[in-house]
Structure 1
Amino acid sequence: MKKTRMTVLCAVLSGSLLCTSCIGSFGLWNNLKDWNQSIGNKFVNEVVFLAFHLIPVYEVAYIADVIVLNSVEFWSGSNPLADVGKVKTVKGENGEYMVRTNEDGYTITKKGEEDKPLDLVYNAENRTWNAVTSEGESYELITMNEDGTITFKQADGTPMTVSPDLQGLATARAASGQSLFLAAR
C-alpha cells in the first residue's frame, strides 16, 4: 500500500514538472536571494548563504518553486509571489523610467513626467495586453492566442500574428521596418 502511494505521489509530482513546460519566475527563491543580498556586506551575505545551504532553506525554496509555485504561475497566469507595488528604475534611450508592478500589469512613468503615467494592463478574459494613458484612453497592444501565437496591429492597422520566439520577433521587426540587430541591443 505504501509503495503504491509513493508511486502515485512520484507520478503526480513528475507530471506537474513535465506538463507545465514553464521555467517560471522562481519568485520564492529570488525573494530569498534578494533578501540575503540586502542584509549586509559581502561577508555577512556569504555567512547567511552558507547557513541557508547547511540548513536547506535555499533547497526547500527552490523545490517549492519548481513543484508548486511555478506550476501555479503557469496554469493560473499569475505569480503567487509577484512583487505588487514594487517600483524599479530603468534607464532607457530617452531617460529614466519608473516601473511599478500592479496586480494586472505595470505602470510606467518617465522621470520628470510623473503626471503622465502609462499603464500596461493584462485583461485575462480577453487574453490581451492594453495600454491605458493618463487620460483614460485604452489601446489594445497584443492578443495572446489559444495556439500560443501573438497577434498585434501593425502601423497601418492590419493585424499580424507571430510566434513568441526569435523567428516571430524577426518577422515582426521586418514588418515594422526595424532590424533584428537593433532590437537585440
Structure 2
Amino acid sequence: MKKMKATAVCAVLGGCLLCSSCIGSFSAWNSLKDWNMGIGHKAVNELVFLAFHIIPVYEVAYLADVLVLNSIEFWSGSNPMADVGTEKVIHGEDGEYLVRTNEDGYTITKLGEVDHPLNLVYDAEKRTWNVVAEGKTYELMTMNEDGTVTYKQQDGTSTTVMPEWLKETVAV
C-alpha cells in the first residue's frame, strides 16, 4: 500500500513538472549553444557540436531545462539561470552606454563617465521600478494588481494607464 502511495505521489509530482505549460527560455541549452557558437571558427564549432551530441551534453542541458529550470521559471516567475552579470554596450543618441544586468534590475553607465552610474531597481514586494542615482531613490512606476501601470511624473503627480493588450480583454 505504501509503495502504491509513493508511486502515485511521484506520478503527480512528475506530471506537475511535465504539464506546467511553460515553454520557458531554455536558458541552460541556449547558454551552451551560445558558448559553442562563440568558440571561433565554424569547423571547431561543428566538432564541438558533434562531440556534445555523442557525449549527450546538449541532451542533458535540454532535459534539465524541460524538467527543472523552465518549471521553476514558470512557477516562481524568475529564471534560475538569468543572465545576471552580463554587460552590453548600447548606442544612444548622445553616446554609448554600458548596461549591466543585476539580480534586481540594471546598472547603466555612460562610457567615459564611470563615476555616475544609474541603477534601475525592481522592488518585487512593492511591485515598483525605481531609479537610484547619486544616493537618491526615485520611484518610476508601479505594476498594479489589475494589470495597469502607474507612472510617476517629475512634478509628483501620477498617471495610470492600461496596456493595449489588456484593454482588449477587459469589457469597457
**CA separation in 1, counterparts of 2:9 and 2:54?**
30
**CA separation in 1, counterparts of 2:82 and 2:146?**
26
> Does the Cα contact within 8 Å between 2:100 and 2:107 map onto a contact in 1?
yes
> Does the Cα contact within 8 Å between 1:110 and 1:117 map onto a contact in 2?
yes
Q: One-letter code of the match for 2:53? A: H
Q: Which residue of 2 aligns with 1:137?
A: 136
Q: TM-score, normalised by structure 2?
A: 0.76
SS in 1 for 2:142: strand
How far did residue 99 of structure 1 move?
0.9
Equivalenced residue count is 161
**CA separation in 2, counterparts of 1:77 and 1:60?**
23
Q: TM-score, normalised by structure 1?
A: 0.72
> Does the Cα contact within 8 Å between 2:69 and 2:80 map onto a contact in 1?
yes
Q: CA RMSD in A?
A: 2.8
How far did residue 97 of structure 1 move?
1.0
Q: Which residue of 2 aligns with 1:101?
A: 101
Query: Which range moves more in the overlay, 98-107 or 138-147?
Result: 138-147
Change (3 A) 1:10 1:57: same
**CA separation in 2, counterparts of 1:40 and 1:72?**
33
Q: Which residue of 1 aligns with 2:24?
A: 24
How far did residue 6 of structure 1 move?
6.9
Q: Which residue of 1 aligns with 2:121?
A: 121
Q: One-letter code of the match for 1:14? A: L
Q: One-letter code of the match for 1:63? A: L
Name stretches of at least 5 consecutive residues in structure 1 with no aligned partner. Answer: 170-185
Structure exhibiting the larger radius of gyration computed from Cα positions = 2
Q: One-letter code of the match for 2:142? A: T
Q: Does 1:14 align with 2:13?
A: no
SS in 1 for 2:72: helix
Q: Which residue of 2 aligns with 1:153?
A: 152
**CA separation in 2, counterparts of 1:144 and 1:78?**
16
Name stretches of at least 5 consecutive residues in structure 2 with no aligned partner. Answer: 167-172
Q: Which residue of 2 aligns with 1:176?
A: none
How far did residue 126 of structure 1 move?
0.7
Q: Structure 1, residues 23-49: CA drift from partner, whole Å, max 9, x if none?
A: 433221222112212223111111111
How far did residue 141 of structure 1 move?
1.7
How far did residue 3 of structure 1 move?
7.6
**CA separation in 2, counterparts of 1:54 and 1:150?**
49
Query: Which range moves more in the overlay, 114-123 or 86-95?
Result: 86-95
